[in-house]
Amino acid sequence: MANNGSGSSLGPGGLDLTNTFFKPILNSDPPIPSNRCTKVSVIGVGNVGMAIAQTILTQDIADEIALVDSKPDKLRGEMLDLQHAAAFLPRTRITASVDYAVTAGSDLCIVTAGARQNPGESRLNLLQRNVALFRHIIPPLAKSSPDAILLIVSNPVDVLTYVAWKLSGFPVNRVLGSGTNLDSSRFRFLIADHIDVNAQDVQAFIVGEHGDSSVALWSSISVGGIPVLSFLEKQQIAYEKQTLEDIHQTVVGSAYEVISLKGYTSWAIGYSVANLAYTILRDQRKIHPVTVLARGFYGIEGGDVFLSLPALLGRNGVVAVTNVHMTDEESEKLQKSAKTILEMQSQLGL
């Protein structure tokens, strides 16, 4: 008897839905055979790096976690602190070193190292300080784990993901940034809070720059499968466009507010990045708004620019970019966001 497994087509001879919904990543590597032991390296053991490591540990995502930092005493202290919790956690080997050799054989390398964002400081102002740092991080990381996927979290994440791609020499599908994955979570929370539903029932994306020129895709927002704006229009329910813009601006300012109150962000980005790690390492084929090479998508041209787009992620990194509906206004804002990032990249000389 023939195996009638699920596929990507509908009907006899079928309609290929995969090519309809997604646009494939060109010049990508073939899928990497999964290893029995899954290893994750976290570069930088500051507040963000440790929040990510702790969340990955509690969610049983990796068999081994390697920590790297330039401060040996703090590094050893963080390693011991995690190791002492072994009785309460899934069995995971935890190592640490200032030497990147400890990352050898990693499946996923998460880079969080960078200058801390100060209260009121734009993410883009961090650029020059962090590019110099990446020149000392990415080449040895790529040498130690040539088959790894690089996940960049350091800010400004869009430009630094481009820098990591250039310095590593990796194919584009194996270099991505955390991008607007967290921004979109904040966006979903605010929408859910307005209409009193669970945020998991809200599908909404923030795309573009992880920062001031990000774009809220209001036209594609749905709650419980119901397109929100088109539903309101059909029901002749009036809504203020300024209210929508206010929600977006609240998202943009969320990180700044947290930084002004506690000095840094950590837990939300920790959960966000651990969620990305789970999707990638477990080959979940989920869609996340993350920083990817955007040239050729949604009319974005002018150079190799990295910014956030809804992307299908799996064990090989970025599998495809989702063909999400955008209005002309949203597309124009996205292209403007791309130009903002390209202007920053042009100053790097890479």
Tokens of residue 172, six digits: 């584009």
Q: CA-CA distance, 190 to 167, in Å (whole number)? A: 37
Known catalytic membership, residue 288: no
Q: Which of 84, 136, 194, 210 is catalytic?
A: 210
Q: CA-CA distance, 279 to 141, in Å (whole number)? A: 22
CB 178 within 8 A of CB 108: no
CA-to-CA dists, residue 328 to 242, 289, 333, angstroms: 18, 20, 9
Exposed / middle / buried, residue 100 (Cβ in 10 Å: 0-12, 13-18, 19+):
buried
Residue identified by tokens 């990507």 is 8
Q: CA-CA distance, 160 to 86, in Å (whole number)? A: 34
Residue 3: which residues within 8 A CB-CB, separation 6 or more?
none
Query: Which residue, among 348, 285, 220, has the nearest Cα to 22 in the 3D structure?
Result: 285
Q: CA-CA distance, 197 to 341, in Å (whole number)? A: 35
Q: CA-CA distance, 145 to 168, in Å (whole number)? A: 10
> In this structure, which long-range contacts are made by residues 245-249, counting pairs with CB atoms below 8 Å and at least 24 apart in sequence?
247/187, 247/190, 247/191, 247/194, 247/216, 248/187, 248/206, 248/214, 248/216
Q: Which residues are catalytic?
A: 210
